[in-house]
Structure 1
Amino acid sequence: MHAELCNLLVVLGPTASGKTRLAIELARKLHGEVISADSRQVYRGLDIGSGKDLAEYQEIPYHLIDIVDPGVEYSVFHFQRDCFAACEDIVSRDKQPIVAGGTGLYLDAVCQNFALQEVAINPALREELAALSLEQLQQRLLALKPEQHNDTDMATRPRLVRAIEIAQATARGEVIHSPSYPKVQPLYFGIQWDRPVLRKRITERLKQRLQEGMIEEVEQLHAQGVSYDTLEFYGLEYRMVAQYLKGELSYNDMFQKLNSQIHQFAKRQDTWFRKMQRRGDAIHWLKPEQDLVEQALPIIEGRDYQPLSFRSESQ
């Protein structure tokens, strides 16, 4: 009986689970390099709020962190393209790519080989939408795309505008399709904390990030010209801190709301991972009270690992 084939290692898990550290430790053991699958770590200057923790990497090379400036459009289309480019670069140097992240859509875009589309910014449409209320924008999007799979697109103005832009361009056929990429056969690892423990880790990490200067980071980004509307686009930490800096929330209210919403976000991440399992993806959940690398290595050694082949795809 032949060992099951895999060609990409993937470390996933909810926020504050320790997935980056596990990916780095596996990279040390396996002569690998880490590719971040995080929708915010691509942006320069979004350091504390996005949890880059660059000091953890030490000698381990990392990819798709600090690659675009705030305000630049960076979508799952761009991530898929850049992730495969990073994989090709790593494999060409006989190293092993290890994808690590909690953005389920980004992971699926690569591992499920999504056929994605790129949509250009439409200045005329954005000028038209600027006059509409949040409720009117929501109605406009639902008219174009009745089924919404991402609630965050409905909650914030910048995401609504972008979603309308994409839906309208798609309806008109004004899109660029992604190229063909190699078929991915991932080997998934996750870290499974008991929920009360994970909740405590999330709260403690939030306190630590605030102590390390997360508010000052948002102040600096705004001073450099990043609008509060744009900051709202970059997730919970930047949205809540921006509201605090605008005087819309007290410090205590900001902390309590942010803490609560991060816990809810972690639940949504878990829901995504369960959906992956229901469709047949085998996720090897590791026990954090034991050595994570020692649990993962026998599983990796039991697989027939063959690097992603880019040559055959381009011929």
Structure 2
Amino acid sequence: MITVLGPTASGKTSLAVCLAHRLGGEILSADSRQVYQGMDIGTGKDLGEYTVEGNSIPFHLIDLVPAGERYSLFAWQRAFHEAYGAIKSRGVRYPILCGGTGLYAEAVLRGYNLPDVPPNEALRQRLQGKGIDELQQLLTSYGPLHNKTDLDSPQRAIRAIEIADYIQAQRASGIDYTEYPPIDSVILCLDLPREARRSRITARLKERLEKEDMIGEIEGLLASGVTPEALIYYGLEYKFITRYVLGELNYEEMFTLLEIAIHQFAKRQMTWFRGMERRGFTLHYIDALLPMEEKVAVSLDYFKEWEQSRH
């Protein structure tokens, strides 16, 4: 598989689509908000970009559920593997995973063990107050049932123990669960200098508000019955514009707060991607300011090197 990562406004979709066109690939979206129907402008679906030289590039994992619902990483991982399996069964050699939700991408690249485990309040209460070292020791007693990134805080360790305890009980009852293997992939990451990233984010926000009627999109979602609370839960554009529509913010306040929030979000995205390197992944950084043909050429060079290293 080919994976294209990058912060918001870096041009991930355009690059992924060009690569899919050159390689005969199909695209799998790794975006936690593009799964919602009707949330198009605010999530940057940019569906018009999936056509190159008159050819439509197939895409997946977009518009999976109605707006207003909550969609979990567990559900997305399952949907990913269904789509990925279908793509491979059609003889497509290189599906292309594209998105900015690092957790989603890493979940399938690493093969996270994510059974749909309900909260165990009794277990959580017993574990409250224990230190991280004690929790880690308890977690290892369950065997190799967890991924190492679950060990960096007491909260994550407790959730990992909760999952391990659930799996152990399921197996003791003769009930199995789905485990997904890691997926081998060359990972490309678009990189933008900080000021260029900030400039792009601001310009794109203005365009979405002034030309694409992002406010109208959110007013339409509210009119369709999606609650303000549900939209605010989705964050960023949906949070601040909903508050504007409700009269809680004026236009200038909304724009300023939203602009700051998107800048902070992009910074967190890059922090996650660099964290993936510390967790053992190799990311190949590509200058997002290069002309598209150069970005494609650099990407294909990395892809060929990766291909050769596998043989």
- TM-score tier (shorter): 0.7 to 0.9
Classify the secondary structure of the residue corresponding to 2:83: helix
1:119 offset after TM fit, Å?
4.6
1:108 offset after TM fit, Å?
1.1
Contact map agreement 1:115 1:178 (CA 8 A) in 2: no
Contact map agreement 2:186 2:302 (CA 8 A) in 1: no
For 2:165 and 2:24, locate their aligned partners in 1 and report how far apart those are by CA, in whole Å: 46
Residue matched to 2:87: 90
Contact map agreement 1:41 1:52 (CA 8 A) in 2: yes
Residue matched to 2:199: 200
For 1:26 and 1:184, locate their aligned partners in 2 and report how far apart those are by CA, in whole Å: 19
Cα separation, partners in 2 of 1:100 and 1:301, compared to 1, 3 Å: same
For 1:39 and 1:177, locate their aligned partners in 2 and report how far apart those are by CA, in whole Å: 27
Contact map agreement 1:192 1:285 (CA 8 A) in 2: yes
Classify the secondary structure of the residue corresponding to 2:98: strand
Classify the secondary structure of the residue corresponding to 2:26: strand
For 1:225 and 1:257, locate their aligned partners in 2 and report how far apart those are by CA, in whole Å: 26
In structure 1, stretches of 5+ residues that fail to align are 1-7, 126-139, 150-162, 308-315
Residue identity in the other structure for 2:307: D
Residue matched to 1:297: 300
Cα separation, partners in 2 of 1:72 and 1:206, compared to 1, 3 Å: same
Structure 1 residue 238 and structure 2 residue 241: aligned? no
**Relative contact order higher in (CA < 8 Å, ≥ 6 apart):** 1
Moved more, 101-110 or 294-303: 294-303
Cα separation, partners in 2 of 1:171 and 1:60, compared to 1, 3 Å: closer
Question: Could you list the per-position Cα deviations for residues 164-194 of structure 1 after superposition, in whole angstroms to 9, with x for gaps in the alignment?
Answer: xx99x86994999851223312210011111
Q: CA RMSD in A?
A: 3.1
For 2:224 and 2:248, locate their aligned partners in 1 and report how far apart those are by CA, in whole Å: 21
In structure 2, stretches of 5+ residues that fail to align are 133-148, 150-155
Classify the secondary structure of the residue corresponding to 1:302: helix
Identify which of 35, 38, 44 aligns with 1:45.
Answer: 38
For 1:245 and 1:82, locate their aligned partners in 2 and report how far apart those are by CA, in whole Å: 33
Residue matched to 1:133: none
Contact map agreement 1:39 1:106 (CA 8 A) in 2: yes
Question: Could you list the per-position Cα deviations for residues 126-171 of structure 1 after superposition, in whole angstroms to 9, with x for gaps in the alignment?
Answer: xxxxxxxxxxxxxx9x969999x9xxxxxxxxxxxxx9xx99x869
Structure 1 residue 65 and structure 2 residue 62: aligned? yes
Classify the secondary structure of the residue corresponding to 2:181: coil
Residue matched to 2:24: 31
Contact map agreement 1:17 1:193 (CA 8 A) in 2: yes
Cα separation, partners in 2 of 1:223 and 1:25, compared to 1, 3 Å: same
For 1:219 and 1:251, locate their aligned partners in 2 and report how far apart those are by CA, in whole Å: 15
Structure 1 residue 108 and structure 2 residue 106: aligned? yes
1:10 offset after TM fit, Å?
0.4
Classify the secondary structure of the residue corresponding to 1:73: coil
For 1:36 and 1:116, locate their aligned partners in 2 and report how far apart those are by CA, in whole Å: 19
When the two structures are aligned, how many residues end up with a matched partner? 268
Moved more, 21-30 or 280-289: 280-289
Percentage identity across paired residues of the two chains:
46
Structure 1 residue 79 and structure 2 residue 72: aligned? no
For 1:250 and 1:143, locate their aligned partners in 2 and report how far apart those are by CA, in whole Å: 43
Question: Could you list the per-position Cα deviations for residues 192-248 of structure 1 after superposition, in whole angstroms to 9, with x for gaps in the alignment?
Answer: 111100100000011111121111111110111100100012121000011111111
Classify the secondary structure of the residue corresponding to 1:284: strand
